[in-house]
Amino acid sequence: MKAVKLLTVGLVLASSLSLFAQPKFADVAKEAQQAVVDATKELADLRSRIADEKIPISRTLTQLESQVQEKRSEYDRVVTAAENRSVGLSALQNTVEKRRDENIYLKNLMSSYIKQFSTRIDESELQAHEDIIAAAEQILEGNAPDSEKFATQIKVLEASLERVGNIVGGYKFAGRALGENDRAVDGNFILIGPFAFFGDGGTSVGFSKGRPNAAYPLVKSDGLLPETIATISATTQSGEGILPIDSTEGDAFKLAELVETPIEHALKGGTTIYIILLLALCALLVAIFKLFEINSVKRPRSGALQQILDHLNAGKKQEALEIANSVDGPFGDMLVAGVEHHDEEKELLEEILYERLLAAQPKLERFLAFIALTAGAAPLLGLLGTVTGMIKTFKLITVFGTGDAASLSSGISEALITTEYGLYVAIPALLAQALLTRQAKGKLGEMEQASVAFVNGLSKKR
């Protein structure tokens, strides 16, 4: 580069000198040529030095490029590995989340199974599995690790599977049940399929049936033959034997429990049933009283009226009066009045006899209106009980909802039983009132017939 500059300067000087001194042009040209030669030589030396220095620089550059390539490759490997680790970690996290969800599902499923297990097995078996069930429920309610919860749940599952195998062939275990007078007794249970038997070697022998809100199952032996009871007792003691089968699976005992006395059935009607029953009792007493009262009104014996008429027509008033006094009740009063006024005018005598008839009528018809009132009021009281029972039912629905039928049965029973007993009371009361009214009118008709016969008998003799 320095040579090029010198050549350029020389040329410029030569040009300048050529303008001012043409004679010295040859010297300048010579100097310029020498400068060009020197510059060319210097350029050749510079190129030689550059060529000498270019090889190691190229080698160093190649090494640096190789290192850069290696670093880039290493960087790519690191990035790829990081990406792979990120993808693997995400997949692993997804797998962990799935396993965690599966564990939660299994834990909830097992918890639900344990709760259902204690309600689906026979109540007698609760005594055999109560420790496992209580431990499982306690751990589930606490803060124990999932591993302990799963271990306890698996024990319950194993016990349930073992139970299934046992009841297929039948198995025996000791326990406690409620025997006579709901007294707890110790004995042996035998389970085979859906049937459970209990025997204490004494009097508490029969089918084992669960009962709500009871600590132990109840021993049922109603309707069993003595031979059957003896067979169950022997089998529960030895573990081998022939056992009876309840083909209804307990429904027969449930139906037997529904059998109740009329008093027990009536008392389910609530407070209204007491009013209905009291009204029914009063109506019954009145009906019995009226039945005896009406039937106690006796008509004169056959021929007594004719004897009275004969004595009166013969002028023997005293003898006729004695016969009339011998007749009891309203008939006797009417005949006595007729004998005492037999000599009056016919119209007056008829009025006197009719007066006695009217005097006897209130006595014969008294209290019959109360029976009619009972026949009309009993259905209304039954309807009142129906309304109060339905109100009670709706209150229970508000508290317990519609899923608990047992809690609603009391209100529904009150609603229906009061209506039932209202009709039970009303229909017989209506029939009794009609019958007694007919009998009373029959007695009044007989008295009217006797009065007409008395007047006509005197008229014929006049």
When pLDDT is averaged across residues 32-45 and rounded to a whole number, the result is: 81
Q: Are 371 and 436 in contact (CB under 8 A)?
A: yes
Q: Are 367 and 258 in contact (CB under 8 A)?
A: no
pTM of the model: 0.52
pLDDT digits (tens, 9 = 90+) for 277-295: 899 999 999 999 988 888 8
pLDDT digits (tens, 9 = 90+) for 156-175: 777 777 777 777 767 777 77
DSSP 223-248: T--HHHHHHHHHHHHHS-S-----TT
pLDDT of residue 251: 63
pLDDT of residue 287: 92
pLDDT of residue 19: 46
Q: Which residue has the tokens 């209204």?
A: 272
Q: Is the C-alpha dihedral spanning 110, 116, 118, 120 positive or negative?
A: negative
To which H or E segment does residue 184 belong? strand 184-192
pLDDT of residue 286: 93
pLDDT digits (tens, 9 = 90+) for 352-385: 888 888 888 888 888 889 999 999 999 999 888 8
pLDDT of residue 133: 73
In the structure encoding, which two tokens stand for residue 79, read together? 């990035």
> For residues 204 and 410, which has the higher predicted lDDT (pLDDT)?
204
Query: Residue 165: which residues within 8 A CB-CB, separation 6 or more?
Result: none
pLDDT of residue 316: 79
Give percent of the chain with pLDDT exceeding 90. Answer: 8
To which H or E segment does residue 412 belong? helix 405-461
pLDDT digits (tens, 9 = 90+) for 101-118: 877 777 777 777 777 776
Q: pLDDT category, 429, cuts 50, 70, 90?
A: very high
For 199, list phi and psi in degrees, rounded to 5. Answer: -155, 135
